[in-house]
Amino acid sequence: MSKVVLGGGLSGLSAAYYLSKKIPSQNIALIESSNRLGGWIKSNVLSDGVIFEQGPRTIRPHGEAGANTLSVIEDLGLSDKVVPILLSHPAARNRMIYANGKLHTLPSTVGSIFKKQSPFSKPLIRYLLQDLFAPRKNVPDEPIYDFVSRRFGQEFADYLISALVCGISAGNSKEISVKFLMKQMFEYEQKYGSISKGLVQNIFKKREKNGVKRPTVESQTGTMECVFS
Ligand SMILES: Cc1cc2nc3c(=O)[nH]c(=O)nc-3n(C[C@H](O)[C@H](O)[C@H](O)COP(=O)(O)OP(=O)(O)OC[C@H]3O[C@@H](n4cnc5c(N)ncnc54)[C@H](O)[C@@H]3O)c2cc1C
């Protein structure tokens, strides 16, 4: 009996790919309603060769999901299409958000989180510390905006998370599920009571796991720009 995958976006293509790997003899039909594959991926090559991505363009190679994505890229022979952006790169260091009618540079060094920097009304460290003391709320899921407001305060959600969610998925942080976009952060709260505690626990776990083989490209990058063409 053949299997049918509905939708030829990243999810459908990935599902078809894993199905074909798991059961090589299986017939797989992929049904796509539009006249192209890729879903949200839309790469426009301009006349001067510059590639303008209308949809997704970055991969965060962290955790199990990140390692998995990198494995698929390697399996498909697409590694040379990935442009690693090191954490020291100006594009990674200089993050800007548009708020209250102007551009603001986000704190990017350890020192800068202790200084008040517009558009925030207090140093970033104060919002981060709030997470340590904010009570855990046992919920099955909630909008990212609500989750972040509870843990870090409303300004953090308004200025940082709304911009981040727009940048990542052109979405509305008041509608997108925290479990979908920030699953690990959500689980840290549910499991350890706060994100900071979860992060510390994770550092210890990683140390224990040292020696586990990971895809090579991950070890040298923080964020990666990936060209889908
Ligand atoms: C502007 C923007 C920037 C983004 N940037 C990033 C980024 O940098 N990094 C990142 O990781 N993520 C990013 N995302 C999120 C990422 O694009 C999505 O999570 C991902 O593309 C979703 O893939 P999908 O296959 O689930 O859905 P889609 O891409 O929406 O694909 C669904 C497919 O199913 C087809 N379809 C729908 N209904 C039917 C039907 N009934 N029958 C047959 N076919 C059907 C559609 O035509 C479409 O091709 C971004 C999103 C946007 C909008």
The 10s digit of each residue's pLDDT in 135-186 is 999 999 999 999 999 999 999 999 999 988 988 778 899 999 999 989 999 9
Taking each helix axis from N to C end, the angle separating 144-152 and 183-192, rounded to the nearest 10 degrees, works out to 50
pTM score: 0.72
Cα Dmax for the chain? 63
Q: How far away, in angstroms, is 79 Cα from ligand 1 center?
A: 21
Q: What are the beta bridge partners of residue 17?
A: none
Instruction: Supply the residue whose CA is at minimum distance from atom 42 of ligand 1.
Output: 33
From the number of C-beta atoms within 10 Å of its C-beta (0-12, 13-18, 19+), residue 134 rates as: middle
Instruction: Supply the residue whose CA is at minimum distance from atom 49 of ligand 1.
Output: 39
Atom of ligand 1 nearest to the CA of 7: 34
The pLDDT value given to residue 228 = 44
Structure confidence at residue 210 as a pLDDT band (50, 70, 90): low
The pocket around ligand 1, CB under 6 angstroms, is made up of 6-12, 31-34, 39-40, 55-58, 168-170
Pocket test for ligand 1, best of 36, 60, 169, 173 (most atoms within 8 A of CB): 169
Question: Pick from 95, 86, 92: which is nearest to 218 by CA?
Answer: 86
Given a cut of 80, whether residue 226 has pLDDT beyond it is no
Given a cut of 50, whether residue 229 has pLDDT beyond it is no
Structure confidence at residue 76 as a pLDDT band (50, 70, 90): very high
Given a cut of 70, whether residue 208 has pLDDT beyond it is yes
Atom of ligand 1 nearest to the CA of 58: 8
Compute the distance between CA of residue 151 and CA of residue 161 in angstroms, rounded to an integer. Answer: 12
Q: How far away, in angstroms, is 40 Cα from ligand 1 center?
A: 4
Output the six-digit token pair for 54: 């209308």
Atom of ligand 1 nearest to the CA of 171: 53
121-126: which pairs have CB atoms within 8 A and are 24 or more residues apart? Answer: 121/155
Structure confidence at residue 95 as a pLDDT band (50, 70, 90): confident
Is the peptide bond preceding residue 61 cis, with omega within 30 degrees of 0? no
Question: Pick from 109, 190, 199: which is nearest to 150 by CA?
Answer: 190
**Model pLDDT for residues 118-131, shown as the tens digit of each residue:** 999 999 999 999 99
Q: For the residues 190-216, what does the mean pLDDT come to?
A: 77
Q: What is the DSSP string of 154-222?
A: HHIIIIIIHHHHHHHHS--TTTSBHHHHSHHHHHHHHHHSSHHHHHHHHHHHHHHHTT----GGGGG-S
Instruction: Supply the residue whose CA is at minimum distance from atom 11 of ligand 1.
Output: 59
The H or E element spanning position 65 is helix 63-75
Q: pLDDT averaged over the chain?
A: 87
Pocket test for ligand 1, best of 31, 40, 177 (most atoms within 8 A of CB): 40
All domains of the chain, ordered by start, with CATH? Answer: 1-39 (no CATH), 42-226 (3.50.50.60)
